[in-house]
Amino acid sequence: MVKGLLTLLVLAAISAGVFALGSLRGKSDSKAILNVAEEVALTVSVAKPAKEEIIRLVQAPGDVEAVLEVEISSEIVAKIEEMPVEEGDLVKKGDLLCRLDDNNLLAEVESGQARIAQLRAAIVQADADLEKAERDLVRQVTLSETDSTSDLELRDYKTLRDKMKAVREMRQQELVQAEAGLKRIQEDLQRTVISSPIDGIISRLVAELGEVVITGTMNNPGTVIMTISDLSKMQVRARVDEVDIPLVQPGQKARVYLQSDQDKPVPAKIIRVASKGIKPINRDVVTFEAIMEILSNEARIKPGMTANVEIEVDKRDDAITIPVEAIVHRMRKDLPDAAVAEFDRLQAGVDLSDRVRQAQYIKVVYVMEGDVAKVRVVDPGIADSRRVELRTGVGLEDTVITGPYRSLDQLKDGKKIALSDKDKKKPESSAKTEEDSKTATQDEKGNEEKKDAKDEPQTSTASANP
C-alpha cells in the first residue's frame, strides 16, 4: 500500500513538472520551451446562403397515351373480307376501316322479308275468316229469336268467332316479331361495314385479312381489330407514391421527360388525381394514378412511350436557401441548452410526451464564426434535389458548413475548424481579381492623364504658330 502511494506521488510530480516547463520561455526568443498539444481543427467546406427561387418537385414514372383512343371490335361473328388500311395510316371520321363477310346476313334478310310477306297474307286470310264467323254468328242470333236454332249451336258460332279473332291477333304478333327480327338482321348487315368513329391514326393493327372475328362476352373480350388514337391531345398516366400524393393537385405544372429524349422536357398540367390507390401483386408499394395533359403537339410524343414526370407541388420566389447536405440531425441530449430551448420554442404547438421529446432528433446547421463552428436550430421549408429553404436560423450574412460528411459527423458546438484548400482559394482569388481590377483602373487613368498632358502643349503651339 505504501508502494502504491509513492507511485501516485511520483506521477503527480511529473505532471506538475510538465505544466511548469510549458510556461517557461526561452531567454533569446521568448518562445515556449514545451508546448502542450492543441486541439486539431476539422477541415470543412463552406457555402453562403442564397436568396433565390426554389421549387419542390414530386417525381413519378408514367406512360404516354392518347386522350381519345378507340379500340375497334366487331359486333358480329364474321370473316374479314376487306381491310384497306395499315398501321400508321391517318383516317378521318367515317372512313372505311374494315368490311366483313355479309353473305349469310343477306340470305337472312331475304328469309326475313319472305316471312313477313307470308304473315301479312295470313293476316288477310284471318281477317276474311273473322268476317265470315261474325256473319254466321249474326244469322244464328236472328234464328234464335224465332227458336229456329238451339242454344248449343249459337254458342258454337260465338266460339268460332272468338277463335278467328285469336288467330288474327296471333298472326299480327308474329308479323311484329318477324319485322323486329328483320330489323336486327339489317342492323347486323350494316355492322359488316366498320368505319372510323374519330379522326386519328391507326396506332395498332391486330387482326388480318381473312381472319374470323368474334364478339365479346362476359368471359371473352372478343377480337380487337385495331386501335385508333387521336394524337392531337396526349396525356401521361403517372404512378405517384402514396407518400407524395397528398401534395399533388389538379392544375399544377409538370414536366415530362421521355425515355427517348431525356434532355428536352415536355410541359404538362395535372388534370385529375385518382381517389383510390393501386397495389401491384406481390408488392407492398401503393401508388395513385395522376393524369396530366401534355401541352405540346410535338411529333416525337407517341402513345405507349414511357416517361418520368416532375410535378411542381410548391414554390417560393425569394427563399433563403442552403445546400441540402448542410442540414444534419443531432440528438436532443447532444445539443447545448440554448439550442434545445430554441427548438422547444419552435415546437410549442406540438403535444409530445417527455419520453418522445427526449428521444427527438433535431435538425441543425453549423455556421462558421471565426475559427469555430456554432450550431443553429433551423426550420426547413420546401426543398429540391440540391437546395433547401430555411425559414429561420440562418441569414444571408452567415457562412454555412456543408461538408465533408466525415467532418459534419464529428462537428459539435464550439469545435475548432479550418477551411479546405478549395475554400481557401475562393476569397484569395476574389481579392486578387479585385486588386487586379483596381490596378488596371489606375493604370488606365494614368495613361489618360499622360495623354491629356501630351496633347495640351501641341494645341498651344499650334495656336501660337498659325
What pLDDT score does 11 carry? Answer: 61
What pLDDT score does 140 carry? Answer: 86
Taking the C-alpha atoms of residue 200 and residue 90, their distance in angstroms, rounded to an integer, is: 6
Cell of 382: 420546401
Q: Closest Cα to residue 181, out of 118, 116, 122, 117? A: 116
Taking the C-alpha atoms of residue 269 and residue 292, their distance in angstroms, rounded to an integer, is: 5
Cell of 379: 426550420
Local mean pLDDT, 10-residue blocks, the chain (466 residues) = 56 56 44 56 92 92 93 91 92 94 94 95 93 89 82 89 93 95 94 93 91 80 88 93 94 93 92 92 88 91 92 92 93 88 81 71 92 92 90 91 89 90 60 41 47 40 30
What pLDDT score does 5 carry? Answer: 55
Taking the C-alpha atoms of residue 174 and residue 70, their distance in angstroms, rounded to an integer, is: 39
Q: 440-463 pLDDT, tens per residue?
A: 444 444 444 444 444 443 333 333
What pLDDT score does 267 carry? Answer: 95
What pLDDT score does 260 carry? Answer: 86
DSSP state, residue 102: -
Please report the beta strands in 175-223, taking only residues with DSSP state E, as ranges in sequence order. Answer: 193-195, 200-205, 212-213
Taking the C-alpha atoms of residue 85 and residue 194, their distance in angstroms, rounded to an integer, is: 12
Q: Closest Cα to residue 64, out of 223, 208, 268? A: 268
> Alpha-carbon torsion 317, 319, 323, 329, what sign?
negative
C-alpha gyration radius of the chain: 48
Give φ, ψ of 370 to 5 degrees.
Answer: 70, -120
> CA dihedral defined by 398, 404, 406, 410, rounded to 10 degrees?
-10
Decide: residue 412, CB within 10 A, 0-12 exposed, 13-18 middle, 19+ buried: middle
Is this model's pTM higher than 0.85 or not?
no
What pLDDT score does 193 carry? Answer: 94
What pLDDT score does 247 carry? Answer: 93
| Distant-in-sequence, close-in-space partners of 386: CB < 8 Å, separation ≥ 6 | 323, 324
What pLDDT score does 403 carry? Answer: 85
Cell of 373: 463552428
What pLDDT score does 30 carry? Answer: 45
Contact 115, 123 (CB under 8 A): no
Cα-based angle 14, 17, 20 (whole degrees, multiple of 5): 155
How far from 456 is each of 8, 442, 443, 447, CA to CA, in Å?
A: 91, 21, 20, 14
Q: 176-192 pLDDT, tens per residue?
A: 999 999 999 999 999 99
